[in-house]
Structure 1
């Protein structure tokens, strides 16, 4: 009897470890639309403030897949139904920075931090009902994708660039991008605010005022160490500059991770 009890406890422990590992794998599956910048990207770059947790993990807007028949609820689409990122659903009076676009072929870029097996990348765009001062709903969108890139279960590269033919629109609209994972029940969501008739420059228009990194701010942080583990929001000093981590990282040197990488410079020291 005692031996059987040990076997049962061992099996229970193994099952707990397996579940924990599975949950950890799911938690680290990440990606977001970085160009034109999604709301997540704008928050991570500091172009928009008061964004909450999404500022440190723009790649984590994960929610149930199956859009439009299933998926996140109306009014929660931009956050993927994730309450932690509800700031993304706040229309901010229609004042999210927009990227100027024209109808026709437009390049969209995703940044991936984990390369999940992928079913499709689907793109939707708002219709004549869209009011940028209100949270996004299905009624605001054409529910047939304007583009669907079938990956057939393949893993994407760290950076995925796709061409989408945007239909004719006038004024401010929103592109709703969905990365459907092949081997889980989830998808990743990105809301990209665009402006038709803005000259097609591809640059964000009318962004809020931001302050460039200033000398001294953050320079009292500890020095970066290659063997240390850092979480989103942690600050370090490296190479005469201060940096803040956008998400969990280890061994990635500040100043080398690029515009959309984990380390964001906050000051010169």
Structure 2
């Protein structure tokens, strides 16, 4: 395995490849994304430990979505079981993936914990789904806004560390601790490509959202605005599924196996 340092234009290529591959198997990839969200939601409702367990499972399920994109890109139909592919390689591999998940859960809980010190836990409650969503009252609360921005800034290094970590453990057998380090190095070395990648996804999300909102405002009455807003949910899901499809191509572009083929069995 070796790191590829790619030009800024690679970020745009990753976005295009993710969208193109999504439309090869739109139903399958959208369905798998729904499974991803539903599985985490079901686990999260378990009292006390549900939210933590859901965070632990995020890296493993993300690998499942990446492998689904890999299958679709190769012309295969990704079946539902692919979401759990990270647990199909034996106990040692599953244990390594769960360690990555445990590190991720700890990092996220630390970020949320710091935000709770700022706003008394409002952002933390919203994040775990037990405190409602965004409201005008919250957006006018300076403590909540400060907590929101602090949490966002603190999550950036977490995102760097875990962007590639699950995939490195799954496909290259890298140990959990080393995978975090290699992930940070890879993202920083390809910072220009990731800047383009992030800007394009942000612009695409905002552009599609604004266009859809304008269409809904022109075609619905004020009394139906709540229903119209709900109609935007399927579009948000499609965009999210496309984004997750593009994750595979960021990994494929940033790392190159020594033997020109991805390692399917982890080293021990």
TM-score by length of 2: 0.28
Which has the higher Rg, Structure 1 or Structure 2?
A: 1
Q: Which has the higher contact order (CA 8 A, sep 6+)?
A: 2
